[in-house]
Amino acid sequence: MKKQLTNYQLVCYVGKPLKAIREIPYEMQLTAQLILDELCFRWNKNRLETLIDQAIEQNDRERFLELSETYKAYY
């Protein structure tokens, strides 16, 4: 079986630039969005845990209660 080859020839073009748009498959878009959502969720949760730990170490009760209320959304 012969290999299929594609040849390109570049030509100087003077005129309005053309834009090429390539559609990304829905499955890839969904997968990428889910991965980004999970990464953001974990990063925010870890950040809140760190801030809560700092509030406990500094005996800052107000800050602790405020952060604890925000953290409830992660459970």
Angle at 61 between CA 57 and CA 65, to 5 degrees: 110
The answer to whether residue 2 is domain-embedded is no
Confidence at residue 1, expressed as pLDDT on a 0 to 100 scale: 58
Whole-model pTM: value is 0.64
Sorted by sequence, the CB contacts under 8 Å of residue 68 that are 6+ apart come out as 52
The answer to whether residue 37 is domain-embedded is yes
The answer to whether residue 14 is domain-embedded is no
Confidence at residue 36, expressed as pLDDT on a 0 to 100 scale: 97
Confidence at residue 9, expressed as pLDDT on a 0 to 100 scale: 76
Identify which of 65, 62, 66, 71 has the alpha carbon closest to the alpha carbon of residue 41: 71
Helices 61-71, 26-57: inter-axial angle, 10-degree rounding = 160
The answer to whether residue 69 is domain-embedded is yes
The answer to whether residue 39 is domain-embedded is yes
The answer to whether residue 15 is domain-embedded is no
Q: Give the model confidence (pLDDT) of 10-68 as tens digits.
A: 777 788 877 777 888 899 999 999 999 999 999 999 999 999 999 999 999 999 999 99
Domain hosting residue 45, numbered range: 26-74
- Residue identified by tokens 């980004």 is 36
- Residue identified by tokens 């107000």 is 62
